[in-house]
Amino acid sequence: MRFKTEVSLLLIAITLFAVAMFFFSYQNGGSATLSYNLAFPYRGVALAFVGFGSVSMVTASISYSKRSKNLLC
């Protein structure tokens, strides 16, 4: 991959992590007797964003390490 693609993947990962942090911490304004799933309705979405962000970050870092290894040899 090219350097711009790797940086773009890393920026997408950072953005997804920030959005996931917001979704993960969002709490429904109901009473304390709500079940856990109703009190935090977007936890599943947050975990999906973290998963996609992690895949994006790992892809960019593997591509960068392969490219930098080829530059050193």
| Residue (of 24, 19, 4, 9) closest to 61 by Cα position | 9
Q: What pLDDT sits at residue 55? A: 96
pLDDT along the chain (73 residues), means of 10: 90 96 80 63 90 95 84 67
pTM of the model: 0.77
Under DSSP, the state recorded for 42 is T
Identify the domain containing residue 19 by its residue range: 3-72
Total domains in the fold of the chain:
1
| Residue (of 73, 68, 67) closest to 1 by Cα position | 67
Q: In degrees, to the nearest 5, what angle opens at C-alpha 12 toward C-alphas 23 and 27?
A: 5
Given a contact cutoff of 8 angstroms between Cβ atoms, the answer to whether 7 and 54 are in contact is no
